[in-house]
Amino acid sequence: MRALRVVGIHEDGKSIVLEDPARHERFLLPADERLRAAARGDLTRLGQIEIELESQMRPREIQARIRAGESVQQVATAAGVPEQRVERFAYPVLLERSRIAELAQGAHPVREDGPDVRTLGEVVAYAFGVRGQDYGSAEWDAWKGDDGKWVVALRWQTGRSDMSAHWSFAPGAHGGTVTVLDEQAEDLLDPQRTPRALRAVEPEPLPVAEPEQPVLAAEEPAEPEAAAPEVPAEPEPKPALPVKPGPPPKSKSKKNHPAVPAWEDVLLGVRSQRG
């Protein structure tokens, strides 16, 4: 690499004239912001200028997106620059987020009857202990929401499921307060409460279409079967009328007739005993 020496300022007043001492060749170097930052030894400003030249995202926007919860990788991908160039601007903001997450653990959860006397960190640690979960593997984070308020998040893993709970943090006296933002955060504030489990919603059964009946050729109507003759019902017997008793029959008196002897009696000369 050849060394150049400064000859002076060009007549346009915007460039510096450099010369190669060996070949006496002269060069023009624009006296821009990058040159001024290099002359001051301001490496941070040099990095900002490089990002501005390589992408449309300014350093202030990078920090705003990091403060809003994005990661270095997400911002670098959006800016189209290497992660190393984003980290130098993201580092102070990441420290701020970590500090807010730490302060929120000392805040007091707001309940129906007012702020809890215990801190958020104490309540959550107790809830993990009651449920037999590893609180040491949980990770705290914080970022600023769209409304300008800090959101505090806790992430952990249960089995193969990634869980997270969120609170709204309001810094203030005695550590400030936190308010639940979702069901997971509400469950952690009540250790005796059974966590809500996801239920699979079964789809409603579709109506079964009735099979279409095949259309048959018209057939001649069959002759109706002769109906069996109806047997007339026997009329109910009418009650017999009472018969009035008549006068008793008169006994016939025998008339006294003279006895006539039979012919054998006359023949034999025997008197008949008939009377």
Whether pLDDT at 266 is above 50: no
Q: What is the mean pLDDT of residues 157-174?
A: 93
pLDDT at 254: 47
Place of tokens 């509400």: 186
Amino acid identity at 44: T
Helix (H, G, I), strand (E, B) or coil at 26: strand
Q: How confident is the model at residue 37 (pLDDT cuts 50, 70, 90)?
A: confident
Give the list of residues 6+ apart from residue 54 with CB closer than 8 angstroms, or none: 80, 81
Maximum average pLDDT range among 94-98, 133-137, 160-164, 220-224: 94-98
Q: Tokens in use for 156?
A: 């952990």
pLDDT (tens digit per residue) in 55-68: 667 888 899 999 99
Q: Tens digits of per-residue pLDDT, 187-215?
A: 999 867 655 544 444 555 555 555 555 55
Place of tokens 């990441």: 94
Could you give the CA distance from residue 114 to residue 262 in angstroms, rounded to a whole number?
150
Q: Average pLDDT, stretch 4-18?
A: 76
**CA nearest 73: which of 151, 81, 101?**
81
- Greatest alpha-carbon pair distance for the chain in Å reads 217
Over pLDDT 90: what percentage of the chain?
36
Mean pLDDT of 264-268: 51
Q: How much is the pLDDT for 59?
A: 85
List of residues 6+ apart from 248 with CB closer than 8 A:
none
**Residue range 65-90, pLDDT digits in tens:** 999 999 999 998 888 888 888 898 89
Out of 69-73, 126-130, 265-269, which region has the weakest mean confidence (pLDDT)? 265-269
Decide the pairing of beta strands 26-30 and 108-111.
unpaired
Give the Å distances, CA to CA, from 255 to 100, 199, 274. Answer: 155, 123, 15
pLDDT at 171 over 90: yes
pLDDT at 274 over 90: no
Q: Tell whether the torsion through CA atoms of 143, 146, 148 and 153 is positive or negative.
A: negative
| Length of the chain counted residue by residue | 275
* Helix (H) or strand (E) run with residue 48 in it: helix 43-54
pLDDT band at 271 (very low <50, low <70, confident <90, very high): low
Q: How many CA atoms lie within 13 A of 143 on its CB side?
A: 17
Mean per-residue pLDDT, 100-114: 95
Task: Determine the pLDDT at residue 275.
Answer: 47
Number of other residues whose CB lies within 10 A of the CB of residue 177:
21
Which of the residue ranges 1-5, 67-71, 222-226 would you say has the lowest mean pLDDT?
Answer: 222-226
Looking at residue 72, its pLDDT comes to 94
- Is 0.85 topped by the overall pTM? no
